[in-house]
Structure 1
């Protein structure tokens, strides 16, 4: 095996793209909470966050090796394709877990605690539950919502109402995002025995839930304008911009409700990625304008 293939497999096992987006969200959370920005903490948060997500993904792929082999999208991953042994993947996952939690602990103990909770829930609850019940998405939304909040906790050492709201924004965002993916991959997931849509059906009922959770997400995202979220406050103009971005997701959710077509589910999924990338940046820009 070439070094290039090994490196590519390592990137697939730890899902570098996803890890980078998590690190990005954590750093925006840090910038929101920090009185003064410490480069060393940003660096530790980035490395610790990457290791935390990498560990979760590696454990996930070890557990789902046989399921991944059944799906077109995942059958060429390092484990189902046989390019990497389960032992090697587990060693990588274990090293990433220990190093990630240790690095987050060096920022503060609460960061390490949330990092550990995230890895534990993702691997021990979310991953096995996917084959059992659609409620797996609710469980998976908890570790998925930790990054934004983790940044605030890294900056302040506190988990208060501000960190809670950052958590809620990302928590409710997960539902439209993952159900849009569940819609797109429905046949594949079904074949592999995974339950990734609410009520396990690709129908208007699933889209009604997508619309509902998108509305809750928008409410959570604009709530800081009401000065009910401690030190986390945004200007009215910022709230309007965020509201309009949320409406973009709602627009595609309603289109999906009408058409029930994969093309609209893809647009909704892309709009959700755009939302979770842009909103933290808008929050940070707003903070530095105060």
Structure 2
């Protein structure tokens, strides 16, 4: 075999080897940004945008908002995983994430996360508006620099974390030119209260892993019987009147309130079911219903809002 033929074969083999490596790197970065959570957040942004601009909806400003907020979300999730690398390595459910598994280096994630976040904030400031850029920056600070470190200090981290968790539709609202008023606060309150039964059920499922990793999450590894169930029920009860507020601030009509009431009763029923019998099955059922509740509620809220302008 000639030297030329050998060189050609070597080049082709290197191309073949590089292809799966590149795909693997792309997959690692995709996992780093938590695509399912980011997608749900961006859907909430789009619905918040539509709520604020129901009378004059426009696609291009929404695209700008989604791009900027999406970059900030990428930065949030990447930096969160960077700060939680050691605790992630101690939990079976997260040990195979890119950082603890050694698939991506710490400096890479630091540059990637900060770069994405700063680019997103700058993009929002120039292409959307300063209020949205500021709120996105505060969401980043609360999530990465407050909530994430507090997970090792106090169980109150869940309450702090619920604030940035409730921000996506508000970012969409302000991106459409909406002010921070009673209507936007109502949407924020719904998102805030919805999170507690959802995350408490998740924390109950993985309480031993959280404890093993040194995270001060509710519940403790061996909580008092029904304590977490009662907390879920209390928040589910509080969510019902909160979810009915949009009609009283003239954001929607009666149809939304009927749907919100039905969904709220369902969320409460699954919380009571978990309270009465705290098992992995009832916890997963509560999580499952929470993931049905939120998109249905927000879609109904948006649809009913649009009907007011038809």
Range into which the TM-score falls when normalised by the shorter chain = over 0.9
1:20 matched to which residue of 2?
A: 39
Distance apart, 1:116 and its partner CA: 0.3
Question: 1:179–1:210: 8 Å Cα contact kept in structure 2?
Answer: yes
SS of residue paired to 1:158:
coil
Q: Find the aligned partners of 2:258 and 2:194 in 1 and give their Cα distance.
A: 18
1:104 matched to which residue of 2?
A: 124
Question: 1:186–1:202: 8 Å Cα contact kept in structure 2?
Answer: no
Map 1:47-196 → 2, pairs under 5 A: 47-105=67-125, 106-196=127-217
Q: CA-atom RMSD, angstroms?
A: 1.4
Q: Find the aligned partners of 1:176 and 1:192 in 2 and give their Cα distance.
A: 22
Q: How many residues align?
A: 286
Runs of 5+ in structure 1 lacking a partner? none
Alignment of 1:275 with 2:293, yes or no, is yes
Map 1:210-221 → 2, pairs under 5 A: 210-221=232-243
SS of residue paired to 1:80:
coil
Runs of 5+ in structure 2 lacking a partner? 1-19
Question: 1:29–1:149: 8 Å Cα contact kept in structure 2?
Answer: yes
1:238 matched to which residue of 2?
A: 256
Question: 2:207–2:219: 8 Å Cα contact kept in structure 1?
Answer: no
SS of residue paired to 2:180:
coil
Alignment of 1:5 with 2:27, yes or no, is no
31, 40, 43: which one pairs with 2:50?
Answer: 31
Distance apart, 1:199 and its partner CA: 6.5
Q: Find the aligned partners of 1:245 and 1:263 in 2 and give their Cα distance.
A: 20
Further displaced range: 198-207 or 98-107: 198-207
TM-score (norm 1): 0.95
Bigger CA radius of gyration: 2
Structure 1 residue runs of 4 or more that deviate by more than 4 Å after TM superposition = none
Distance apart, 1:183 and its partner CA: 1.0
Q: Find the aligned partners of 1:51 and 1:215 in 2 and give their Cα distance.
A: 35
2:6 matched to which residue of 1?
A: none
Question: 2:87–2:213: 8 Å Cα contact kept in structure 1?
Answer: yes
Q: Find the aligned partners of 1:202 and 1:83 in 2 and give their Cα distance.
A: 39
Question: 2:259–2:297: 8 Å Cα contact kept in structure 1?
Answer: no
TM-score (norm 2): 0.89
Question: 2:170–2:187: 8 Å Cα contact kept in structure 1?
Answer: yes
Q: Find the aligned partners of 1:202 and 1:87 in 2 and give their Cα distance.
A: 42
